[in-house]
A and B are shown apart, each in its own frame.
Chain A
Amino acid sequence: MANSFQGNRMLEIKNLRAKVGDNEILRGIDLNVGPGEVHAIMGPNGSGKSTLAHVLAGRENYEVTGGRVLYQGKDLLRMSPEERAREGVFLAFQYPVEIPGVSTTYFLKAAVNAVRKYRGLEELDAMEFLSLIKEKMQLVEMDQALINRPLNEGFSGGEKKRNEILQMAVLDPKLAILDETDSGLDIDALRIVAGGVNALRDKNRAMIVITHYQRLLNYIVPDFIHVLYEGRIVKSGTRELALELEDKGYDWIKGEAPRSEV
């Protein structure tokens, strides 16, 4: 069911299987993503969308039980979460973590410099860092006061999501995975966040946009759409698929899905 993209591959997922405890959530995912492409992954609740995002970012509580993931030709699953980030993988969290006691600025600077150091770039000093942040904050129309506050603490839903996109802008990833970035956003916040994401679209950068609703895809228009159901991609297509899904609902896909082998 993989899409038929044949070009330069940034991400190749082959028959990926993963579980939490005894619960197998990913049951053989195949997906290829090329540079510059935006792929949307849709699916009903519990289909494995967020699990896929977290497995790609390296979260420890998921156990990969089969398959492989090549990122720029390297075995992604063998890398620690920080190595993946330094290599250019970025996950925008559905629920960004609140960390009292660490200022957003301090955190951003530590992250940027860890990544820059790995990439052989000079670490930014305080002045250079501030000018970078100021520039990127404009992308998501974020208030300067926010970055002086502890990381995500007491941020509204919209502020947290803007902060995620700010981090993405600052860390300059090659592969960005956006996990339900639209959840909890009103229409104005959604427009701002999507605007930030669109500004970061680039022929060298790939994006995987995970969403339950087609609404987000009106703002971030994907090149490909995949439907995840019971841990597998059961349907892939172009934009029109999202509209069809909206029209017919996920029940339509459930009817089309191959029978579970388990």
Chain B
Amino acid sequence: MQASESKELYLSAFRRYRNNGASKNPAWLRQLRESAIASFQELGFPTTHDEDWKYTSLDRITSVAFQRGNGAAKAVTADDIFALGFADSACNRLVFINGTYFPQLSSVRESPVGVRIESLAGILQRNDGLVEPYLGRYARTHGQTFVALNTAFMEDGAFVLVPKNCKLEEPIHLIHVSISNGESVASHPRNLFIVEEGGEARIVETYIGMGKGSYFANPVTELLGGPNTTIDHYRLQREGAKGSHIGTLEAQLSRNCNLTAHAITLGGALVRNDVHMVLNGEGSECLLNGLYVLDGKQHVDNSTEIEHTKPQATSLELYKGILSGSARGVFNGKILVHKDAQKTNARQTNKNLLLSADAMVNTKPQLEIYADDVKCSHGSTIGQLDRDALFYLRSRGISIDDAQSLLSYAFASEVVSRVKIDSMRARLDDYLLNKFGKNQKSEIQ
């Protein structure tokens, strides 16, 4: 199938949806969908001729006629979720399967007054004015094919509201499962997080894949950080071997908002993460903390854009990649400093470790600066394991396999050590030590 046929399939699916499922939507939502599908129609799917997609082919998505479906949902158990995800079974959670809220596996404890942790579908159905001012306001459909597709078809996802001065200590887990046992399944989860002035929250989005079939997850998350907030956001991806994931995070930071956005990618055939941060308040700070650990023929593309629109804001970005097999990594990082954003402090780093001769990385850091009093830097590296360090470990009796896995783990640990949820960090540590141990063995045989 050609990309143009694929586009036509989505357009005709929308025509059916417009007259069927979406017809009961409130007018504002129908309007949102119409303008989104118009954007999609105009844009079509990007190709490798587009600068932003130069190294990432979408054939895996555009050559398949994905269906929406959740027939396999019943096959998912809590054990599956905790085996694949990095949360523990006591966690506060909403579970979604192929994009639809699945209350049987969800467990939300009572929260302080005013906190809302619920499925978006329920809220849209009630149409009580809660999400209307926010939904679609930050994730722009203009110029963004996948945000447009998501907005046209969105039905469900997570809604989190942390009210003024509320400090939520317990993390909120949103676990999105894609499962396909043959049919090719698409989902367009839509998440909206609002942390009001003075609030604090930890929100974890986990994406996991199950089943033997191929699927396409196209989640979009909008996050609004109010003044003086502290937000810790995680996106953990452990998609299946035939899973494609195109994810978008749109975050808006108000005055003195402090946001840490973790992005950890461990699985998936094709993964693209678009992160767009707007530091739209004086004194706001964001830390982007990313790790991708790839093997086989995995392809992972991280595209981040950090926009400084107000003075005195700080953005620090560190993304690290470890690639083996014939995996391919792409990093596109852009820092955009507007004219009024004086005293901006921005630093961006991408470091890659290649463990095999066939692994490859394309990395492109960019700065675009229109203010004259700023401190900005960027850099990227691609390298192999340090020979001196390897020899040092081996000279103490540690085998070459173990030395390599220990050094790979050490490379990742700078990112993992910033994970603030202890149980999750411990599970990630275990996963990585185990993974690198296995990797080395398979490469030597």
Which A residues are CB-close (under 8 A) to B394?
58, 80-82, 85
Interface residues of A in 12-61 (CB under 8 A from B): 57-61
Given contacts A96-B392, A99-B389, A99-B392, contact A111 B398 (CB under 8 A): yes
B395 touches A57 (CB 8 A): yes
| Closest-CB distance, B185 to chain A (whole angstroms) | 38
Q: Which of A82, A93, A97 contacts B397 (CB 8 A)?
A: A82
Q: Please tell me if B134 contacts chain A, counting CB pairs below 8 Å.
A: no
B402 interface hit (Cβ, 8 Å): yes
Given A82-B400, A110-B402, A101 and B411 touching (CB < 8 A)? yes
A100 contacts B by Cβ under 8 Å: yes
B82 contacts chain A at the CB level, 8 A cutoff: no
**Would you give the shortest CB distance from B277 to chain A, in whole angstroms?**
27
A59 to B391, CA, bound (A): 7
Q: Which residues of A contact B414 (CB under 8 A)?
A: 100-101
Residue-wise, chain A 84-115 has the 8 Å CB interface mask toward B (1 for contact) of 11100011010011011110000100110011
User: For the complex, is B422 an interface residue (Cβ under 8 Å from A)?
Assistant: no
A102 touches B410 (CB 8 A): yes
Q: Which residue of B lies closest to A106 (CB)?
A: B406
Of the candidates A57, A81, A99, which one forms a contact with B410 in the assembled complex, judged by CB atoms under 8 Å apart? A99
Are A118 and B397 in contact, with the CB atoms below 8 A? yes
Which A residues touch B76, using CB under 8 A?
none
Q: With A101-B409, A101-B414, A102-B410 in contact, do A107 and B393 touch (Cβ < 8 Å)? A: yes
Answer whether A171 and B410 are a contact pair too, CB < 8 Å, given A81-B391, A97-B388: no
**CB-defined interface of B379-401 with A at 8 Å, one 1/0 digit per residue?**
00000001111011111111110
* A148 CB to nearest chain B CB (Å): 13
User: Is A181 an interface residue, CB under 8 A from the partner?
Assistant: no
Residues on A with beta carbons closer than 8 Å to the beta carbon of B397: 82, 85-86, 111, 114-115, 118, 171
Contacting residues, chain B, for A150 (C-beta < 8 A): 410
- Tell yes or no: A167 within 8 A of B by CB: yes
* Chain B residue at smallest Cβ distance from A119: B397
Q: How far is the CA of A262 from the CA of B399 in the complex (A)?
A: 39
User: What is the CB-to-nearest-CB distance from A76 to chain B, in angstroms, rounded to a whole number?
Assistant: 13
Chain B residues whose C-beta falls within 8 Å of the C-beta of A99 in the assembled complex: 389, 392-393, 407, 410
Give Cα distance in the complex from A262 to B183, angstroms.
75
Given A101-B411, A102-B410; A110-B398 close (CB under 8 Å): yes
A114/B389 in contact, CB under 8 A: no
User: By CB atoms of chain A within 10 A, which of B392, B396, B399 has the most?
Assistant: B396
Q: CB < 8 Å: which of A80, A91, A100, A115 contacts B400?
A: A80
Shortest Cβ distance from residue A108 to the other chain B in the assembled complex, whole angstroms: 8
- Is B413 interfacial (CB-CB < 8 Å)? yes
Interface pair B411/A85, CB less than 8 Å apart: no
Q: What is the chain B residue whose CB lies nearest that of A92?
A: B395
CA separation between A167 and B392, bound complex, in Å?
A: 12
Render B155-175 as a binary contact track against A, CB cut-off 8 A, 1 for contact.
000000000000000000000
Would A60 and B391 be within 8 Å (CB), given that A101-B413, A102-B410, A110-B406 are in contact? yes
The distance from the CB of B222 to the nearest CB of chain A, in whole angstroms, is 34
Q: Mark B404-429, 1 if CB is under 8 A from A, else 0.
A: 00110111111001000000000000
- Please measure, in the bound complex, the distance between the C-alpha atom of A97 and the C-alpha atom of B407, giving whole angstroms: 12
Q: Chain A: which residue is nearest B416 at the CB level?
A: A101
Which A residues touch B395, using CB under 8 A?
Answer: 57-58, 81-82, 84-85, 90-91, 93
List B contacts of A91 (CB < 8 A).
395
> Contacts A59-B391, A99-B389; is A111 near B396 (CB within 8 Å)?
yes
Which residue in chain A gives the minimum CB-CB distance to B406?
Answer: A102
Which residues in window 117-172 of A have CB below 8 A to B? 118, 150, 167, 171
Look across to chain B and name the residue whose beta carbon is closest to the beta carbon of A114: B397
Q: Which residues of A contact B387 (CB under 8 A)?
A: 60-61
Chain B minimum-CB-distance residue to A97: B392
CA distance A57 to B398 in the complex (A): 13
Report the Cα distance A13→B23, complex, angstroms. Answer: 88
The interface residues of chain B lying within 8 Å CB-to-CB of A171 are 396-397
B352 to chain A, nearest CB (A): 16
> In whole angstroms, what is the CA distance A61 to B387 when docked?
10
Smallest CB gap from B391: residue in A: A59
A233–B93 Cα gap in the complex (Å)? 72
Whether B398 and A101, one on each chain, are in contact in the complex, defined by CB atoms closer than 8 angstroms, is: no
Report B-chain residues with C-beta under 8 Å of the C-beta of A80: 394, 400
Chain B residues lying within 8 Å of A60, measured Cβ to Cβ, are 387, 391
Determine whether the beta carbon of A114 is less than 8 Å from that of B398: yes
B389 close to A97 (CB less than 8 A)? yes
Q: Which residues of the partner chain A approach B403 to less than 8 Å between Cβ atoms?
A: 82
The CA of A57 and the CA of B393, in the complex, are separated in Å by: 12
Q: Can you name the residue of chain A whose Cβ is closest to the Cβ of B401?
A: A82
Inter-subunit contact B410/A101 (CB<8 Å): yes
List 22 A-B residue pairs with CB atoms under 8 Å apart, sorted by A's residue number. A58-B391, A59-B391, A60-B387, A82-B403, A85-B394, A85-B396, A86-B397, A93-B395, A97-B389, A97-B391, A99-B393, A99-B407, A99-B410, A100-B410, A101-B409, A102-B407, A102-B409, A102-B413, A107-B396, A111-B397, A114-B399, A115-B397
Other contacts beyond A61-B387, A101-B412: 18, CB < 8 A: A57-B391, A57-B395, A93-B395, A96-B392, A97-B391, A99-B392, A99-B407, A101-B409, A101-B411, A102-B406, A102-B407, A111-B393, A111-B396, A111-B398, A114-B397, A114-B399, A115-B397, A118-B397
Q: Which residues of B contact A (CB under 8 A)?
A: 386-389, 391-400, 402-403, 406-407, 409-414, 417
